[in-house]
Chain A
Amino acid sequence: MGIASTTSMTGIILTALWQTLYMVFWSTLLSVIIGFIPAIILTLTAPDGLRPIRPVYEILSFLVNVFRSFPFVILLVLVIPFTRLVVGKAIGTTASIVPLTLSAIPFIARIIETALRETDAGVIEAAKSFGASNWQILWRVYIKESIPRILNGIVLLIISLVGYSAMAGTVGGGGIGDIAIRFGYQQYRTDYLVVCSIILIIFVQLIQMIGNHLYKRLS
């Protein structure tokens, strides 16, 4: 493991920071891309959607709930065979992206769905009155009008993925949270605990600040 090769505190922490960023970045990107699909299907088939199809909405909605209610640690173990299939191994930073992404998909799907469905019904009606097709309404009205809300949801997702990535240490994912647990907590190294906590606080603050700034600019 990368952490074992360096012994200085700075080296250990920098490696861990890089691992956290790596895991959070890829699992955010992948889960947002994949999560958009159920979010759009839910929005379109919802009772107030452009193509209401009750059974599709109900079943998909139920599945999203089921996957959201899975405790992450359990999911981590359950998906090991799948992870091995995708990444080739079940342990390591890259491997931990798989369970992180899988747990994030239903979360972000629900968030994007909520953001899309908050679009003003009157605006959708106006678009219809000008002869817009359903796909035009989806893209030009639903998605474009919801971008600031979706962005807020992504900020929320990133922050919770930072938390989950700490648990990914269990499957050898490494990262700041993992260092905090193994060095800071298990080896009574208060200095590690403090530094790791400060880094996480700064990281979350930074993400939130960037998010708020973008929200203002985009809305």
Chain B
Amino acid sequence: MIEISSVRKSFRDVDVLKGISLTIEDHEIYGIVGQSGAGKSTLLRCINGLEPYDSGEITVDGALVNSRDKSALRGLQKRMGMIFQSFNLLERLDVYGNIALPMKFWGINTRSQESRDKIEELIRLVGLEDKAHMKPRQLSGGQKQRVAIARALVLDPQFLLCDEATSALDPEITKGILALLQKINREMGITVVVVTHQMEVVKQICGRVAFLYNGSVLSQGKPEEMFIKPAEKEIQSFLRDKSELLPRTGVNIQVFFVGEGSNEPVITQMARELGKDFSICWAKLEDFRENVYGSLVLNIDKADREQVCNFLSSKKVAWEVLT
């Protein structure tokens, strides 16, 4: 468990983290989301001790992350594998050598049968059996990130910290990497912390997320609850998908299908029961892991507003009138 409480950090006179508190439970995939400059990468670097923080506390299973206590910090870093946006592989080492590198930092004999078996197993896990002796420059971005993932796992960490790990990859490759992270989480029980600005990452793998805005946690919870009907306008603008081309006449009502009620045919019922005409002028479906969530915007006549609102209120759907 990683516990972060009231962590503050500033670079010179810029406050980057303004009292962040959150808890990452064991075996979950936790997302730290937000726009560039929100402080999410800095927070991740503080968790790993790459960056010191000014005040507050970060503990890993009760042990304090303190960048001044170098030997204790090393021990914690061993338990937290990390991957990066730019992969950060050593150019002169092949796939095998890159994966073996953290072992060398820990004085583990990389030539022992045990080490060799482990490295080969990790190469198989990330699906690069045929590339074990290739150099990074011969690999694609997705393959490089796979090497980095194997490298991050070679010391048997409890946590895998991912700093914008898929931001430099195209959507198809991203899916593959995310599936791999999910597999690592499920099969190896490794807690995964992802820092990202990509909604698809959150939707595909995160069980819980924290939305960071300007150095503070604006909202925390399950992504499907947080992002389908976001109350905060910062999150709305992060999602940036509110259509600006909604009709200017009549009344626009957005209906959300979250959790219970998302399987009920509310819209067709409404048309039949009220005998009113309306148009659907905007709609969106989203996959959050295995579930589908959606929202749509109806445009109705001003005169029908009350009737429609009453009808929607009687159903198990969330809705709001857009102004």
Chain A contacts to B: CB under 8 angstroms: 120, 122-123, 125-133, 136, 140-141, 144-145, 147-148, 218-219
Which residues from chain A contact B74 at a C-beta distance below 8 Å? 131, 133
If A129-B82, A130-B78 touch, whether A140 touches B101 (CB-CB below 8 Å) is yes
Q: In the assembly, what is the distance between CA of A62 and CA of B84, in Å? A: 36
Interface-central residue, A120, A126, A127, A219, by most chain B CB under 10 Å:
A126
Residue from B75, B86, B102 in contact with A122 in the complex, judged by beta carbons closer than 8 Å: B86
Taking the nearest CB of chain A, how far is it from the CB of B63, in angstroms?
Answer: 14
Which residues from chain A contact B82 at a C-beta distance below 8 Å? 126, 129-130
Q: In the assembly, what is the distance between CA of A219 and CA of B138, in Å? A: 12
Binds A, one of B87-95, B223-231, B251-259: B87-95
A-contacting residues, B74-118, CB 8 Å: 74-75, 77-78, 80-82, 84, 86-92, 101-102, 104-106
Q: Which residue of A lies closest to B48 (CB)?
A: A129
B280 touches A (CB below 8 Å): no
Q: Which residue of B lies closest to A124 (CB)?
A: B88
B155 touches A (CB below 8 Å): yes
Residue from B77, B91, B104 in contact with A145 in the complex, judged by beta carbons closer than 8 Å: B91
Contact A130 B88 (CB under 8 A): no
A-contacting residues, B9-62, CB 8 Å: 48, 50
Taking the nearest CB of chain B, how far is it from the CB of A118, in angstroms?
Answer: 11
Contact B90 A145 (CB under 8 A): yes
Q: Which residue of A lies closest to B93 (CB)?
A: A144
Main secondary structure of the interface of B (DSSP, over half): mixed
Main secondary structure of the interface of A (DSSP, over half): helix
Q: Which residue of A lies closest to B82 (CB)?
A: A129
Q: In the assembly, what is the distance between CA of A136 and CA of B82, in Å? A: 18
Which residues from chain A contact B84 at a C-beta distance below 8 Å? 122, 125-126
Q: In the assembly, what is the distance between CA of A148 and CA of B105, in Å? A: 23
A126-B89, A128-B77, A130-B82 known, 15 other contacts, Cβ within 8 Å: A120-B88, A123-B89, A123-B90, A123-B91, A125-B88, A126-B84, A131-B75, A131-B105, A133-B74, A133-B105, A136-B105, A140-B101, A140-B105, A219-B91, A219-B92
Contact A144 B105 (CB under 8 A): no
Which residues from chain B contact A141 at a C-beta distance below 8 Å? 90
Which residues from chain A contact B87 at a C-beta distance below 8 Å? 122
Count residues of chain B with CB under 8 A from any CB of chain A.
27
Contact B89 A127 (CB under 8 A): no
Contact B92 A145 (CB under 8 A): yes
Contact A125 B90 (CB under 8 A): no
Contact B50 A147 (CB under 8 A): no
Contact B105 A132 (CB under 8 A): yes
Q: Which residue of B lies closest to A129 (CB)?
A: B82
Q: Which residue of A lies closest to B104 (CB)?
A: A140
Interface-central residue, A123, A141, A144, A147, by most chain B CB under 10 Å:
A123
Q: In the assembly, what is the distance between CA of A131 and CA of B87, in Å? A: 17
Q: 10 shortest A-B CB distances, which residue pairs?
A: A126-B88, A131-B74, A131-B77, A122-B88, A130-B102, A129-B82, A132-B105, A122-B86, A123-B88, A131-B78
Q: In the assembly, what is the distance between CA of A87 and CA of B11, in Å? A: 55
Which residues from chain A contact B48 at a C-beta distance below 8 Å? 129
Which residues from chain B contact A125 at a C-beta distance below 8 Å? 50, 84, 88
Taking the nearest CB of chain A, how far is it from the CB of B263, in angstroms?
Answer: 45
Interface-central residue, A132, A148, A218, by most chain B CB under 10 Å:
A132
Q: Which residue of B lies closest to A146 (CB)?
A: B92
Q: In the assembly, what is the distance between CA of A133 and CA of B78, in Å? A: 12
If A122-B84, A122-B86 touch, whether A127 touches B105 (CB-CB below 8 Å) is yes
Taking the nearest CB of chain A, how far is it from the CB of B85, in angstroms?
Answer: 8
Which residues from chain A contact B102 at a C-beta distance below 8 Å? 130-132
Q: In the assembly, what is the distance between CA of A218 and CA of B135, in Å? A: 11
Mark interface residues in B231-255 (1 if CB within 8 Å of A CB, else 0): 0000000000000000000000000
Which residues from chain B contact A144 at a C-beta distance below 8 Å? 90, 92
Q: In the assembly, what is the distance between CA of A132 and CA of B106, in Å? A: 8
Q: Which residue of A lies closest to B89 (CB)?
A: A123
A-B contact pairs, 16 of them (CB 8 A): A120-B91, A123-B89, A126-B89, A126-B148, A129-B77, A130-B78, A130-B82, A130-B101, A130-B105, A131-B102, A131-B105, A133-B74, A133-B105, A140-B101, A144-B92, A147-B92
Taking the nearest CB of chain A, how far is it from the CB of B302, in angstroms?
Answer: 57
Q: In the assembly, what is the distance between CA of A218 and CA of B148, in Å? A: 22
Q: In the assembly, what is the distance between CA of A145 and CA of B84, in Å? A: 19
Taking the nearest CB of chain B, how far is it from the CB of A101, in angstroms?
Answer: 29
Which residues from chain B contact A147 at a C-beta distance below 8 Å? 92
Which residues from chain A contact B50 at a C-beta distance below 8 Å? 125, 128-129
Q: In the assembly, what is the distance between CA of A34 and CA of B105, in Å? A: 27
Which residues from chain A contact B90 at a C-beta distance below 8 Å? 123, 141, 144-145
Which residues from chain A contact B78 at a C-beta distance below 8 Å? 130-131
